[in-house]
Structure 1
Amino acid sequence: MTALSAYDRLEATGLWRATPDEQRRDVIVSIGEATLTITDSNDRALAHWSIPAIARANPGHTPAVFHPDGDPGEILELPDNESEMIEAIEKLRLAVERARPHPGRLRMVSLVLTFAAVVALSIFWLPGALLNHTVSVVPEVKRQEIGAALLENIRRVAGRACEIDNAQAPLTRLSTRLPSPSGPSQLIVLRGGVSEAVHLPGNIILLGRALFEDFEEPDVAAGFIIAEHLRASLQDPLRRLLDRAGFAATVRLLTTGALTDDTLQAYTEHLLTATPHPLTDETLLAGFKAWSVRAAPYAYAMDITGETTLGLIEADPFASSPPDPLISDADWLRLQNICGG
């Protein structure tokens, strides 16, 4: 007990009695190693009290009355003039009390830590875990239903889709030539609202009419389709929707299988104004190689000068040996007129 070192030569006089029936007698009190020694005038030991087991009967009053913890019949009185000894005993008692385990306090700390852990899990782990679970269990038919609802909202803003009869078959053939990992996507060309490409849940890709009308080759539209496949492989379109909609929408979809009209409307507005998630040149080039499509036409469509897309142009996997045609020239001509001019 390091606190004893300051008092190892301290002595005081006091009155002591062993039992309530005995007379108090003059004694000398000294502090030893973890004990309080009580001796008579002949230096004969009368009692040894363990300092950790000393209790005070009258805190804050004098003369100070101490007794062994659990035995108030044996007492030691120290008068006012022995304040140094009184202070020493009190300090040692306090030091011992602080060093003792406090089960109640420990339980409280444990409860607080447990509550904090639960709160932390609720804030940081539960939303992500629930989102992952929801995305993994929503069936494809439900994804298509959500995608169709979003498409209907977009049509109210962007107008009806381009659906000239003789261009639908070529559009299907282009989709078959550029399938997503889960199969050919449903490609829909819009008259307005979408300038490039937007991916909806249910493997639906919306394309702006400019991708067909403003370019001389189908590689540009193909590049945007490939980019959407790559974005979907990095983050599921349904997950993007739920990330944006929030925790409550995720819980609702998981428990009821539906999203509110307000949630779908808000996400529709976001889709039509959001900037597509950027893809690295390495990711894009791997995609163009996998789908056998030239990268340079897409790169120049993104930047007509080629300055910001030079990496795609210089590393085009088919710069020297063109891949098989995406679709026939006749199909491409029909697609260029898909919106009726």
Structure 2
Amino acid sequence: MEHLNKTTGLLIKNNSFIGSSVVFPYEGEFLCLTAGHNLYGKKFDQIPDLTEWRVSDYKGVLHTVSQCIGDVNFARENDIVILKLECNSNLELFHCPQFYTVSKNPAHSFFFRGKYETSKFPVTHTNLQFINLCQNNIHKFYCKIEKALLMNNIYQSGSDWLGGWSGSGLFLANHDKLICFGVMIEIPNKGNDGQLKFTSISAIDKLDVKLNIIESSALDFDNKLLASSVNSIFEQTDDKAISLWENDEGNKPQLDYIVDKLTKVYSDDRLEIMKRNAIRRLLVGKAFLYSELRKHEIIYDQYNKAYYAYDLDDLEVNANTRTEANSGLKQIKKEYEDYLISCLGDVLGLDDIKILSNYGISEWISNCSLSFIKDE
């Protein structure tokens, strides 16, 4: 991601690497978000001398620490603090992420970026999933991570060799904006459970620094988040996928309906192209509906109601010629798309609605719902 590297900060105490952090400009100041125990010690029994501390940015420039926001009691409870830095370069070189409360939606995947003590450079690990909130603190939560990522080259799991990850920022995957949820604070049970523990940015609300923190519910159906998944569906629905569907004996009844109906609409030289287009719309729409939209139960239910309500209408096209059949099919497409916009326009983008509209029409062509009838 373009700006991710710009937010990675490394905490240095007397020239020794201590932990990771998220650095960002905010309202003219240079701030650093990190785990509280990085400053106060694992037992929260140390008083940091800020003159000993520096934060190294993505260019290797060191910035002095002028203030620690979050006293030892706050840090002990929430294990997160904000440091104010004296910027020794240009603030415009850095990027402020958007801050959200942690998303509990299983459709969302996370990644984090930080450095462990034995690595030369920061690393990024992906495919983290939210598990649950901590019982004793609503600002702390667990994420699942592939256990193999917590093993070293001699297959030894543990938090010892991974020292330095504390303070790493947790971000939302598959989004065009850089969205931060909080920082890592612990590797429970030395990594043997395949879990990481984080503190949510929401804990910062208790401090004097008022970041603009957005509720994660705003991400539950974000068109920008969805875009990468939709693009992936289109890429997977290539000519090979269409041919595989067409050659599957189990799809023969649907294929026969498609060929029979489209023969009444299109000329022979266009029939093959339009047949494959109909199959493509079936495959894209079905994948979109069941792999993406179904993750959002309320929207999925709204779509189903709209689909079946419209399906109750008389879907017949009276036509004596292909021109009339084509005109009638276009009219049904337009009416159905307008109907979906009226039902789902507040929660779905026009591109998403067009996918569902094309899917519905192709589905009706491939079964007995839509008919072309000649006038007697």
Structure whose alpha-carbon radius of gyration is higher: 1
Smaller-chain TM-score range?
A: under 0.3
Q: What is the TM-score normalised by the length of structure 2?
A: 0.21
More strand by share: 2
